[in-house]
Amino acid sequence: MPRRVPWALLTAGCLVILIALSRHAALSDAPAASSGTTSALPHHGAYRDYDFGQGRDIIDVGTQPLWIPTNLITEAMQRDAILSESLARRGLTLRFHAFFKGADVNDFIRSGDLEAGIGGDMPALVAAAEGRIQIAALAQYGFCSIVAGHPVLLHELGGKRIAYASGSNAYFALLRALSAGGLTEADIERIALDVHEMPSALAAGGIDAFAAWQPTPFIAESHYGNQVVVHQSLCSGYLYFSQTFSEQQPDALRQIVAAELRAVGWLGYRKNRLRAARWALEKTEAFSRRLPRLNERDYAALAWNDLIGIASIPSLPEADLLGNGRLAREFELLRRLDKIDDNATWEQVRRRFDRSLIADVLSTSRRQLQSYDYREAGSENHESR
Amino acid sequence: MNRADGATGPTRGVRSGLLESRAWGTIRARLVLVFSLLFIAILISGEWLGLQGLPFSSHEGRISSKRYEEFGDLGLVADLMKDRIVHWLRARRNDTRVLARNQALVEGVAHLHTAAHELSSSLILQDESSSQLREQESYSAVVSQLEAVRDEYDVYDKIQIVDHETRRIFVSTDEAEIGSLAPDFGPAHIHGPLEAHVSDLRIDPNSSVVLSIAQDIVGPEDQPRSVVIMVVAMDDIVRSTLLAGKGFGPMDEAVLVDREMRILTPLKYRLPDGSRGRPLEYVDHTPAAALAAAGEEGITRMADYRGEPVLAAYRYIRVTPELGWGLVVKRDEAEVLADIHEDIRFTALTGLVSIVAIVLATIIYARRITAPIMNLSQTAQRVEDGDLAARASVTTSDEVGSLAATFNSMVGTIESWHNELAGRVSTRTAELEAEAAERGRAEEAAHAAQEKLFHQRLGEAQRVQSELDKIRERLVKQTRLAAIGQIGASIAHELRNPLGAVRNAIYFIRRYAAPPEAGDGLEEHLAIIDEEIAAADRIISDLAEMTRWRPPIKQMTNLGKLIRHAFERADLPDTIHWSADLDPEPFMLEVDAGQLLQVVSNLISNAVQALQDAEGEIRIEARRVAHHCEMLFHDSGPGVATGDRDRLFEPLFTTKAKGSGLGLTICQDIISRHGGSIELVKSEGTGCGFRLCLPMSARAVEEELERGQGG
């Protein structure tokens, strides 16, 4: 052993230890959500106390309070007196239940607890591939975002810890971003989190980036100074129904679709958007206190960005359903990634998208679509919280 | 060169040469090298880290920062452009919606629609239908309204009213279109009362890229029967948005593509093949265009349609859920990094100048550092070479000065030790030298004594050896002589009787028996016989003499008288003269007179025989030399041949016809017994000479000395 200590080696060793300690400290700040957390489970702990109708003339609808603009639409639908009265005449009651992501909605549709729900394109495609749903209308047409602590190019995401909501639109947006950067899931460290946990985890250094839908990216940029959107992917959201419900209650289904059409039309006016934004913010705060509260104007503006993508009638875009369309490409990618069973075909999935429903509603209820009656708290429609 | 301690080592010149050959190993060189390399390393690494960033840290480097700064700018520009396009589209939709809801238009279109429907169903030719339609009362009002809107907004090429079912244009600001099919729509799929439908872009007959926005005109029955279509050229939005704007540089470019990545606007630059990409024909396959057309938004680095590296921000513009455009805003990376490249060049230049300055400064400073060290080294060299009075002339107040002071003190101490030691050494050396000299003398004496003893012994040994040789020789000679003598005695005894008888016979003959008739011849022959008998008798005598060997009986003898006696007895012929030169006179010598007389007689006899009755001389000289008598016997005869010199004293060797060969042998034997020697000193050519050397007696020396003192 030489008498003189190899200082270069010692210095290098100290640096390695320091870096390892800092990374360990950063990881230890991250919420324990990388595996086996409640948000990764099919039944989130938050849903424990939900009371579903299960055949008692109650139509349970899964909503996503943390997703603009679907939350504005569903909040409006919850306060839509025309809808509630129409369903009441049929002896039905509408009940809305809040979920963190579309995959959770699918789980409860699969279990029969929900009759309808709001989900993004990935959960909608997954459910459609299983043949369990009928997709009626657009609920959102905008972007999901990749947010990081500093500007990065897509190929620089390799080796990074990236949070995502399993089975969601944002997850698919992440896959597309990785693909655009020449990467795969294996090139990153995936960390499953609920969307409302992501900005704080990024700020704490527990993750290097996350994939989420609005308003989470907006909150991240506006409330956490160094968080920036590094990529966005076009994504869409849908209102869909369980196959059983669509077969058993076609009229009720059309009433609900009409309510969505009505809500989209109503939200076309700024004052209505502000009002709905207030409702949505109240629901967000009640559902999760992890995200900073936005003001109504920002919330309404964010919602409008995606609402105009829907256009005045949230018809299912024909171009997206073409064999070489956006949804077909997404379906193929999901199948390649084993998110969808290999035996499923695009034709089977495409048939789940029922463009005739909206046309039917428009042809039979056009006048109704231009009448609005939204009532404040204490509305006829119940919700779980 | 020898050092003070006597050891040898390389000379100063050799040592400086060694130093020069290891020039890069000097402190000066190392300082220059280290600081130069350090500076270069720091400069390069600092510049590199500054450019590329520090790994595992938040420092990204100027290049990354610059890129991301540019990405941010491009993103903002792209977002601005996107917003402007979206707002432009929204404005166009709003225009269309507003127009579609205009009550006057609704009513006028409703009238015209009925008439148009009737005309078209009556299978009247298109031109005639059109002219009949134009005659309708409400037609001009509607057209005027459309023209007013077109002129007011100043962005629309034309405005059309189309039948919802037949898709035929029945009102238009372009009269030529009346009755023709609307190119942009199949079965109407406009349902919404809020948003107007936007068609795909197309190229109109004027080669312009145009966009159509359509909106149902909902009649009193609440059913859409007509559609208002407003046709707008993309040039409007391109000029106002894509070609220029805040943050948009002269080299920047914005490209709008549809979902098939066909460009919707003219390209700013030529394609690599020199052509210009045409809208709705050229497909932009760049990554940014593909991503934007697919509904992605972000930033990227890529090569654009020219192949130039660019930074690009791409956006997706949702025209409708069915229709979307991709927007790519790009900037040449060379332009982005131009400032950094300029910085790098400037840094390289200043770095180069700095390196030169550093090297010069280091050289100068290194000299200042190493000069005292060199002084110290040279002083040490001088001390090593023996100059203990040498001192380092370093007076700096730093570590080297301290070292020099310590060195000088050390050398001073060494010098004093050396001097003291030298003194002791000198003293001791003197003592040792004295001892050594004494020892040397003793050794010399011993050596001399030893040598003398050796020589003495050698001489004695040689003498002994010589004596032994002589004795051996004598013994041999004597043995030989004894043998000869015995033989000779026997021969002499045996011959004397016959010789006596012969001698008697000759007497008788001569006296009584000589016939008278014999005359003188008989007497002559008888004389010859007498001579021969005498010679034989002499030989017999010599032989007999050899048997009568006896040791010499020495007594003081007058050498002069003895020599005269020998000559008188020799009866020399008249032709031979003799002389004797003796010094001193009388020359007394302690010898056996009889034997010496025989020696002299034999020599005289040999000389007479050598001269053979010719004129000649015989001379004898005698001198005293130290304690010896040296006697020279010389005759003027022919001498002795060189080949006979070595055998002259051998028994029975003779050169005479009538000799016994024993005369010189007997002389040598007699002289040897006297302790002397005889040798031939002159040989052929100038006569013959013998040197006899006889030892003087002690008594003769005393008498001589007395005579010398008295005389």
Integer angstrom CA distances of residue B565 from B156, B506, B571, B580:
190, 31, 10, 12
Strand order in the sheet with B576-583: B576-583, B616-625, B628-635, B688-695, B677-682
Q: Which amino acid is at A103?
A: A
Question: Chain A within 8 Å of B200 (Cβ-Cβ)?
Answer: no
Interface test with B, best of A17, A144, A218, A232 (most B CBs within 10 A): A232
Which residues from chain B sit within 8 angstroms of residue A230, using beta carbons? Answer: 298-299
Task: Please tell me which of the candidates A15, A265, A319 has its beta carbon nearest to residue B322.
Answer: A319
Question: Chain B within 8 Å of A281 (Cβ-Cβ)?
Answer: no
Query: How far is Cα B607 from Cα B635, in angstroms, rounded to an integer?
Result: 6
Query: How far is Cα B96 from Cα B156, in angstroms, rounded to an integer?
Result: 11
Which residues from chain B sit within 8 angstroms of residue A321, using beta carbons? Answer: none
pLDDT at A336 (0 to 100): 86
Mean pLDDT on A25-41? 41
Q: Which amino acid is at A378?
A: G
Mean pLDDT on A357-373? 81
Fold of A25-41+144-235: D-Maltodextrin-Binding Protein; domain 2 (3.40.190)
Say yes or no for a CB contact (<8 Å) between A313 and B192: yes
pLDDT at B23 (0 to 100): 65
Say yes or no for a CB contact (<8 Å) between A141 and B321: yes
pLDDT tens sequence across B650-684? 888 887 766 678 889 889 989 999 999 999 986 54
Q: Is A288 exposed, middle or buried (0-12, 13-18, 19+ CB in 10 A)?
A: middle
Q: How confident is the model at residue B314 (pLDDT cuts 50, 70, 90)?
A: very high
Instruction: Give the SS3 label for residue A176.
Output: helix
Q: Which amino acid is at B616?
A: G
Integer angstrom CA distances of residue B455 from A241, B161, B446, B448, B465:
148, 162, 13, 10, 14
CB atoms within 10 A of CB A57: 12
Reply yes or no on whether the pLDDT at B117 is more than 50.
yes
CA angle B583, B586, B590 (to 5 degrees): 95
Question: Chain A within 8 Å of B275 (Cβ-Cβ)?
Answer: no
Question: Chain B within 8 Å of A309 (Cβ-Cβ)?
Answer: yes
Chain A, residues 105-124, CB within 8 A of chain B, namely: none
Q: Which residue in A63, A66, A92 sits closest to A77, CA to CA? A: A63
pLDDT tens sequence across B518-572? 777 888 888 888 888 887 887 777 777 666 667 889 999 999 999 999 999 888 8
pLDDT tens sequence across A213-225? 988 999 899 888 7
Say yes or no for a CB contact (<8 Å) between A141 and B296: no
Integer angstrom CA distances of residue B553 from B350, B590, B591:
130, 9, 7
Say yes or no for a CB contact (<8 Å) between B222 and A233: no
Phi, psi values for residue B170, rounded to 5°: -115, -10
Domain with CATH 3.40.190.10 in chain A: 25-41+144-235, 48-141+236-383
Say yes or no for a CB contact (<8 Å) between B318 and A234: yes
Mean pLDDT of chain B: 82
pLDDT at A162 (0 to 100): 96
DSSP state of B241: I
Give the start-end residues of each E strand in B96-240: 156-163, 169-172, 197-198, 202-203, 209-218, 224-233
pLDDT tens sequence across B192-215? 444 567 777 777 777 778 888 888
CA B427 from centre of chain: 50
Say yes or no for a CB contact (<8 Å) between B56 and A19: yes
Q: What is the CA radius of gyration of chain A?
A: 22
Helix (H) or strand (E) holding B453: helix B399-508
Q: What are the tokens at B62?
A: 């100027």
Q: Which residue in A353, A139, A134 sits closest to A250, CA to CA? A: A134
Chain A, residues 184-223, CB within 8 A of chain B, namely: none
Task: Please tell me which of the candidates B287, B297, B322 has its beta carbon nearest to residue A232.
Answer: B297
Query: Do B263 and B257 touch, CB atoms closer than 8 A?
Result: yes
DSSP state of A111: T
Reply yes or no on whether the pLDDT at B29 is more than 70.
yes
Question: Chain A within 8 Å of B59 (Cβ-Cβ)?
Answer: no
Q: What are the tokens at A248?
A: 């058993």
Instruction: Give the SS3 label for residue A51.
Output: coil
pLDDT at A75 (0 to 100): 94
Mean pLDDT of chain A: 84
Which residues from chain A sit within 8 angstroms of residue B85, using beta carbons? Answer: none
Provide the shortest C-alpha distance from residue A348 to chain B (in Å).
22
Q: How confident is the model at residue B139 (pLDDT cuts 50, 70, 90)?
A: confident
Q: What is the CA radius of gyration of chain B?
A: 80
Q: Which residue in A213, A262, A269 sits closest to A237, CA to CA? A: A213
Provide the terminal-to-terminal Cα distance of chain B, rounded to the nearest Å: 73
Q: How confident is the model at residue A333 (pLDDT cuts 50, 70, 90)?
A: confident
Task: Please tell me which of the candidates A153, A309, A315 has its beta carbon nearest to residue B300.
Answer: A153
pLDDT tens sequence across B168-195? 888 889 888 887 888 766 544 454 444 5
Task: Go through chain A and tell me how many residues it has.
Answer: 385
Do the interacting molecules here have an ipTM over 0.90?
no
Reply yes or no on whether the pLDDT at B372 is more than 80.
yes
Say yes or no for a CB contact (<8 Å) between A177 and B298: yes
pLDDT tens sequence across A53-105? 876 689 999 999 989 999 999 999 999 999 999 999 999 999 999 998 898 99
Question: Chain B within 8 Å of A366 (Cβ-Cβ)?
Answer: yes
Q: What is the 3-state secondary structure (H, E, C) of B371-420?
A: HHHHHHHHHHHHHHCCCCCCCCCCCCCCHHHHHHHHHHHHHHHHHHHHHH
Which residues from chain B sit within 8 angstroms of residue A326, using beta carbons? Answer: 294-295
- State the pairing for strand pair B296-303/B224-233: unpaired
Query: Do A236 and A120 touch, CB atoms closer than 8 A?
Result: yes
Say yes or no for a CB contact (<8 Å) between B195 and A311: yes
pLDDT tens sequence across B229-255? 999 888 777 777 776 666 677 778 999
pLDDT tens sequence across A134-170? 999 999 888 999 999 988 899 999 999 999 988 888 8
Task: Please tell me which of the candidates B58, B193, B324 has its beta carbon nearest to residue A370.
Answer: B193
Say yes or no for a CB contact (<8 Å) between B298 and A265: no
Query: Do A177 and A130 touch, CB atoms closer than 8 A?
Result: no
Say yes or no for a CB contact (<8 Å) between B321 and A308: no
Query: How far is Cα B403 from Cα B376, in angstroms, rounded to an integer?
Result: 9
Interface test with A, best of B52, B89, B320, B325 (most A CBs within 10 A): B320
Question: Chain B within 8 Å of A141 (Cβ-Cβ)?
Answer: yes
Superfamily of domain A48-141+236-383 in CATH is Periplasmic binding protein-like II (3.40.190.10)
